[in-house]
Amino acid sequence: MNAIALAAIGIFVFVLGYRFYSKYIAEKIFKLDPNYVTPAHRFKDGVDFVPTNKFVLWGHHFTSVAGAAPILGPAIAVYWGWLPAVLWVVLGTVFAAGVHDFGTLVLSVRNKGQSVGTLAHRLIGQRGKMLFLFIILILVLMVNAVFAWVIANLFISYPASVIPVFIQIPLAIWIGYAVYKKNKKMLVPSLVALAVMYITAIVASQVSFLQIDLVKYMGGEDGAGLFGLGAISTAFFIWIIVLMVYVYIASTLPVWKLLQPRDFINSHQLIVGLGILYLGLLFTNPEITAPATNPDADISWFPLLFITIACGAISGFHGLVSSGTTSKQLDKETEARFVGYLGAVGEGVLALISIIAVITLFPDRETFFATYSSFQASNGAGLGAFIEGATNLAQGLLIPPEVASTIVSIIVVSFAATTLDTSVRLMRYIISELGVEYKIPSLEKKHVATTIAVGASAALVLLPEGPNGFGSGGYLLWPLFGTANQLLAGISLLLISIWLKKLGRNYMITIIPMIFLMFMTLWAMFQQVFLQWAWYAEQPSMLLFVFGAIIFVFTLWIILTAIQALLKKTDPGFSEDE
C-alpha cells in the first residue's frame, strides 16, 4: 500500500472527529459555557493560575502530552504489523483520547482546577482518592526517571543537538518577559527563537567543536570517566544531574517565565517537524514495505497492543496534564475543545507519521523482520528506526541527512524535556495534596515538594542497576508504565462518567471507551503480573510483581467503589461546580 494514501485516510478521520464528534460532545454533553469564570481567573496568582491565550495554551498542552511516547510506542507496535497500530491510533484518538483529554480538562475547570486524583474524593470518596493518588505517583515517578534517561541517551548519541536544545531556555525566558511584562505578542518572537534553534542545529551538525560530546572529551567509548565509571556512564551521570537541576528550576518558576513560551516554541517546532515529515512523505512517495499483520509474532498483539501504544491513542498521563497544569491556564471554558480535544488529535497525527516513518524505512519485508525479529528486539529498535525513517522522509525536501537527524533528535529531546518538567510539576502538586491530606504543612511548600519529587526521580534513575546499564534504573519499573498509564486513563474516564451521570447527562461517550480500555488493560496486566513476573513464572521479577499486584488490586478496588457511585440514583442536589 502507498504510504501517502494511508496518511490521507488517517488525517481525514482526524478532521471528521474534531469537526463533528468533538463539537457534539462539547455542546450537547458537556454544555460548555462561554461566560463561566474559569479557575485561571478565579484563582489568578501569576504562578500556576494564569489566563492564557488558547493558541499558547494549546502549545503547552500539546507538547506536554506529546513527549517521546507517541513516537516510541507506535514505532515498537509496528512489530505486529502496521494495520492494528494504525487502527488503534486513529480510532483511539477520535473516540477515546480526545474525549478523555477534553473531559478531564472540563471536569477540572468545573472543580477549581483540581487534579483528577483530588476530584476522586468528591466523586467516589476518600478511600478511592488515596488509592488513585498512589497510582498517579508511581506513574509520574516512572515518567521522570525514564524520560531523563532517554534525553541523556540522545544527548550522547546526537551531541549536535545539545546547544540548540539549551539555547531554547534563555530564548523562552526572554519571550516570557517580553509578552507578560512588555505586552508583546508571542508568535513572532517564538518563530524567531525556532529559527535560531534550527540555524544553530544546522551549524552544529557541520562544525564538530559545537557538538557537546562528553564521551569524546573523556577519550571515547573506552575512555576513563569519573568516580570509577567509564566515559559513557560518566556522561550519563553528568547529563542526568544537569537535567535534574533544570527540571527543579523549570517546575518551580511561574508558568509564564519558561513553561508557556518554551512550550509555544515547541508547538511550532512540532508543527514544523510534522510539516517536514508529511511534506517529505509527499515528495519521497515511499511504499510500505512492512507487513500489514505479523502472523509469526512471538507474543500476541491482543491485548498487548493497547498498552504498547498509549500516547498517540489514549494516555492517562494526558488527564494529569489536563487537570494539572492546563486547567489552571484556560481562559474561557469554550476553549477546552480546542485545547483538549485538538491536543489529542495533534498527538494522533504525530503517532501516525511515526508509524509511517518506520514501515517505509526498510527496503523489503525481510529486512524489516531482521530488525523486528521479536517483540523484545522491537523495543530496542523502535526509537532508532523512527529517527532513521524520519531522516529519510526529511531528505525528500533535500535536507542533508546529518542535519535531518540532528533536527529530529532536537524535536524528540524538546518534547521529552517538556514532558519531564511538566511531570515534575505534577508530582509536586500531588505531594502537596498529600501534605494537605495528612496534615503535613511542610509538604505543601513548593520547594520542599519539588525537592522530594526531583530527589526521588534522580534516585530511581541512578541508584538501582537498570536493564540498560548505569542510569537506567527507571526501566526497572518501566514495564509497568503501559498498564499503569492506561488504567489511569480508564479511571479518569470512569470519574467523568460518574460526574456526567450525577448531572443527569448521557455518559455513554465516556463509559464505552472506559469499558474497552479497562478490559484490555486489566487483561494485559493480569498476564504480565501473574503469568510473567510472579515467582512461579518463567521470567520472575519480584519488584514488578509486587508493584504490579498492588496497582492491580488498587485498581479493582477503585472500580468497585466507582461502580457503587455510578449505580447510585442521580442526586438532584449535585452541583456542576464545586
- Among 150-159, 355-364, 367-376, 462-471, where is mean pLDDT lowest? 462-471
Displacement of CA 41 from its chain's centroid (Å) = 27
pLDDT above 90 coverage of the chain, percent: 42
pLDDT in tens, 95-112: 999 999 999 999 999 999
pLDDT of residue 345: 95
- Whether 578 shows a pLDDT value over 70: the answer reads no
pLDDT of residue 5: 95
pLDDT in tens, 518-545: 999 999 999 989 998 999 988 888 888 9
Place 493 in a pLDDT band, splitting at 50, 70 and 90.
Answer: very high
SS3 380: helix
Place 28 in a pLDDT band, splitting at 50, 70 and 90.
Answer: very high
> Rounded to the nearest 10 degrees, how much is the dihedral formed by the CA atoms of 505, 116, 302, 526?
-120
512-539 in b/e form (b: 16+ CB < 10 A) is: ebbebbbebbbbbbebbbeebbbeeeee
Question: In the block, which residue shows the cell 535560531?
Answer: 196
pLDDT of residue 16: 97
pLDDT of residue 416: 78
- Among 13-22, 331-340, 555-564, where is mean pLDDT lowest? 555-564
Instruction: Select the more confidently predicted residue: 65 or 377.
Output: 377
- Whether 474 shows a pLDDT value over 80: the answer reads no
Instruction: Select the more confidently predicted residue: 328 or 226.
Output: 328
Gap between the Cα atoms of 248 and 228, Å rounded: 27
DSSP state of 569: P
pLDDT in tens, 161-203: 889 888 988 998 888 888 877 777 878 888 888 889 888 888 8
pLDDT of residue 571: 66
- DSSP string across 525-563: HHIIIIIISSTTSSS--HHHHHHHHHHHHHHHHHHHHHH
pLDDT of residue 501: 92
Place 324 in a pLDDT band, splitting at 50, 70 and 90.
Answer: confident
- Among 17-21, 76-80, 379-383, 509-513, where is mean pLDDT lowest? 379-383
pLDDT in tens, 117-149: 888 888 888 888 888 888 888 888 888 888 888
pLDDT in tens, 246-269: 999 988 888 888 888 888 888 888
Check: CB of residue 472 under 8 Å from CB of residue 150: no
- Whether 465 shows a pLDDT value over 80: the answer reads no
Instruction: Select the more confidently predicted residue: 232 or 24.
Output: 24
Residue 220: other Cβ atoms inside 10 A: 11
Place 67 in a pLDDT band, splitting at 50, 70 and 90.
Answer: low
pLDDT of residue 547: 87
SS3 152: helix
- Whether 224 shows a pLDDT value over 90: the answer reads no
> Rounded to the nearest 10 degrees, how much is the dihedral formed by the CA atoms of 76, 79, 81, 82?
20
pLDDT of residue 573: 65
Across the chain, what does the average pLDDT equal? 88
- Whether 570 shows a pLDDT value over 70: the answer reads no
Gap between the Cα atoms of 199 and 203, Å rounded: 6
pLDDT of residue 572: 64
pLDDT of residue 209: 85
Instruction: Select the more confidently predicted residue: 275 or 263.
Output: 275
